[in-house]
Amino acid sequence: LALGNDPEFPLHRTLVEGCIYPAQARMLPLDLDPAISFCTHLVYASAGIQPDTYKMVPLNENLDVDNAHANYRTITNFKQKYPGLKVLISVGGDADTDSPEKYNLLVRSSIWHGVKKTFGTTPVDDKETEHREGFTALVRELKQALNVKPNLQLCLTVLPNVNSTIYYDVPAIINLVDIVNLDTYDYNTPERNPKEADYTSPIYMPQNRNPELNTDAELGYWLKAGAPSHKIVIGIPTFARTWKLDSERTYAFRLHDSNTDENGIWVSYEDPDTAGQKAVYAKSKNLGGVSINDLSMDDFRGLCTGDKYPILRAAKYRLN
């Protein structure tokens, strides 16, 4: 879940702060400035859930709140330069949604973070739901709490390879949330499919594949279950997934050579062209827009072609 400010959300962005890279790969919050003019929302990932108190807490206090870095403050200060920007903070973790007492603590803490920590939004992101009824109750409690401050939004992120028929009661929650963000990627990964390299983020079903592991199938389920198209955004990844092939039965441009331990690398990735195609697809389906995950991997220095954030730019231009 994530909470935001505005019902008009044609483009969302996610900043992941879990890793700090060295040298040219190191992204600082101020490096986001060139990207924000293309964005309606910026999602900061993420806060956590303290297991004993069920309160929202920073995952890295040194980066998030201490004066040396204070990413929370830096990110929310972008709203001064870009008044139309909506800044969200996602919340992830394992929550016992069968315990009303515990999720009430989480609700109160979420609202406090949104109002007191200067985010124009109050978010919670419970991405791994195990109890359908409890999760629905949590969403309902959050929505009721948000009514006290009506400029906040409640948004749901659906991870790839999560069976929505089991975990989400779509008719019960769809009127309680403002945005449903489908993470339409990582349908296949080296961890999940170590023996077979395949497309990680196809729009449609490739030939002779699982018919459910593609964007069109996942979107189709939510639409058929009653979700209005304008509430849904689809995800575009900026990262790649890589397999090392070790069998001649699997096609690759150059198969792995066991004698030299060379070649045999198969990579599934997005580029500006495929990102643009997905934006066109989203527009053709009258969706709310697309989300990019994550900006730190979208050539934010413009080292490849000179253009910073090429995937973001391509998606935005094709949405217009």
> What's the CATH number for 11-241+270-319?
3.20.20.80
- The answer to whether the beta carbons of residues 26 and 58 sit under 8 Å apart is no
Contact 16, 296 (CB under 8 A): yes
Give me the mean pLDDT over the 236-263 stretch.
74
CA distances from 257 to 198, 247, 251, 252, 262 (A): 20, 10, 13, 12, 5
Higher local confidence (pLDDT), 162 or 125: 162
Cα dist from 154 to 63, 89, 148, 174, 190, whole Å: 25, 11, 13, 10, 33
Residue of 95, 89, 114 whose CA lies nearest to 54: 95
Contact by Cβ (8 Å): 95, 107: no
Measured between alpha carbons, how far is 43 from 121 in angstroms, rounded to an integer?
10
Cβ neighbour number for residue 52 with a 10 Å cutoff: 5
Q: In the chain, where are the structural domains located?
A: 11-241+270-319
- Which of 152, 162, 138 shows the shortest CA–CA distance to 235? 162
- Most confidently predicted of 125-134, 136-145, 265-274: 265-274
Tell me how far apart the terminal alpha carbons of the chain are, to the nearest angstrom: 27
State how far the Cα of 302 lies from the Cα of 84, in Å rounded to an integer. 25
- In three-state secondary structure terms, 54 is coil
**List of residues 6+ apart from 54 with CB closer than 8 A:** 95, 102, 103, 105, 106, 109
Q: What is the pLDDT of residue 108?
A: 59
Q: What is the pLDDT of residues 55-96, one digit of tens each?
A: 777 777 777 777 666 888 888 889 899 998 888 888 765 554
What pLDDT does 292 receive? 96
pLDDT digit string, tens, across residues 4-25: 434 444 555 544 434 555 667 7
| E strands, 183-256, in order | 232-237, 241-244
Residue at 319: amino acid letter: L
CA atoms within 13 A on the CB side of 254: 7
Output the pLDDT for position 11. Answer: 56
pTM, rounded to two decimals:
0.84
pLDDT tens figures, 184-202:
999 999 999 888 889 999 9
Judge contact between 97 and 137, C-beta under 8 A: yes
